[in-house]
């Protein structure tokens, strides 16, 4: 259930009856600048360049920045007792818990407190997490806000759908983008057909004359040639009937070996790494040349387009 805490009237904020956030009721209305000041407990997380920390001086004070505690816990009772001890005349807080927080988000918090008229106690989140839902509970900054250990969180805090369902975010005051770069490696070029030929081609052999045999490859019509016939010997050629003969036996080739990078070693270059490196370098140079040619083509088209627009406008 929502409770109205104030309203905007005549260019100023007027506080109404409500409960905020320490369960104390305020029946007095009027300008919020002159009403009782709120005291909030603010949690932060060290994230450069938004939040930095430095050590306090010998007296436990901060010459620059905002005094904050690093108690390494999110227990509400422990936090309340620590801040009560910090506000008392006799400071009993161990100096190891004290830090000086400064940075962009701390400046923003101080300006917000000045404009809105509230005081705050600042501490660093105990588990050092932003907040994720694990084992049925929220961790980090989100967990501290839901448990009541903190009333406000000020740091570099990303907005996502899961967090937005349980806590309220302000409007983003800083936007950033993330890019991923990776090395582009070209695919292996296809090997020539003669190196990868695995299907035997049927050949026909014909006896031409007495001792001459001409192979005829029926798959690609290779070895087609004319036989010169000497003058005066036109009838000496005796053409016999062609018949299908099995192809000549091919020398047995050992199985292809794979190199360490997964490429097939067709030329037996596994034992010669220098030749393999030169081959890879040659492929990369070809790819770079293609990319340069494409870039020059794009540049030329752009210049022509700009020249055409310039001519049209003039």
Domain membership flag for residue 214: yes
Give the tens place of pLDDT for each residue, 3-37.
676 777 777 777 665 545 544 444 333 344 444 67
**What's 124's domain CATH number?**
3.40.190.10
| Same domain, yes or no: 45 and 156 | yes
Looking at residue 28, what is its pLDDT? 38
What is the pLDDT at residue 32?
Answer: 40
Average pLDDT, the chain: 74
Same domain, 129 and 244: no
Tally of domains within the chain: 3
> Three-state SS for 105?
helix
Tell me whether residue 28 is in a domain: no
Q: Report if residue 62 sits inside a domain.
A: yes
**Does 42 reside within a domain?**
yes
Residues 150, 210: one domain?
Answer: no
What's CA 194's distance to the chain center, in Å?
Answer: 43
Residue segments in the chain with a per-residue pLDDT below the cut of 50: 19, 22-35, 191, 193, 208, 212, 214-216, 218-220, 222, 234-240, 242, 269
User: Exposed/middle/buried for 74, CB within 10 Å: 0-12, 13-18, 19+?
Assistant: buried
pLDDT of residue 198: 53
Tell me, yes or no, whether 271 and 218 share the same domain.
Answer: no
CA dihedral 53, 54, 58, 64 (to 10 degrees): -80
User: Does residue 160 lie in a domain region?
Assistant: yes
Last residue within a domain, chosen from 117, 146, 164: 164
The domain in which residue 89 lies consists of 37-164
């Amino acid at each position: 259930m929502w409770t109205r805490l104030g309203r905007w009237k005549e260019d100023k904020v007027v506080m109404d009856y409500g409960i905020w956030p320490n369960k104390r009721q305020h029946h007095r209305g009027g300008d919020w600048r002159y009403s009782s000041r709120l005291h909030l407990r603010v949690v932060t997380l060290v994230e450069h360049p938004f939040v930095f920390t430095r050590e306090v001086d010998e007296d436990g004070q901060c010459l620059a920045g905002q005094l904050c505690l690093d108690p390494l816990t999110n227990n509400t009772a422990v936090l309340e007792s620590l801040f009560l001890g910090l506000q008392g005349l006799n400071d009993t807080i161990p100096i190891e818990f004290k830090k000086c927080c400064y940075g962009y988000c701390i400046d923003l918090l101080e300006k917000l407190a000045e404009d809105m008229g509230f005081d705050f106690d600042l501490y660093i989140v105990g588990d050092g997490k932003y907040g994720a839902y694990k084992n049925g509970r929220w961790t980090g900054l989100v967990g501290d806000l839901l448990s009541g250990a903190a009333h406000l969180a000020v740091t570099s805090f990303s907005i996502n759908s899961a967090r937005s369902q349980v806590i309220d975010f302000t409007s983003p005051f800083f936007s950033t983008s993330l890019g991923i770069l990776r090395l582009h490696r070209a695919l292996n070029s296809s090997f020539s057909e003669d190196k990868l030929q695995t299907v035997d081609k049927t050949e026909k052999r014909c006896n031409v004359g007495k001792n001459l045999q001409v192979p005829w490859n029926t798959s690609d019509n290779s070895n087609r040639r004319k036989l010169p016939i000497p003058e005066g010997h036109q009838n000496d050629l005796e053409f016999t009937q062609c018949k299908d003969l099995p192809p000549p036996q091919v020398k047995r080739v050992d199985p292809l070996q794979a190199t360490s990078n997964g490429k097939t070693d067709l030329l037996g270059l596994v034992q010669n790494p220098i030749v393999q490196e030169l081959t890879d370098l040659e492929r990369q140079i070809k790819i770079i040349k293609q990319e340069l040619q494409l870039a020059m083509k794009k540049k030329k088209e752009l210049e022509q387009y700009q020249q055409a627009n310039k001519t049209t406008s003039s």
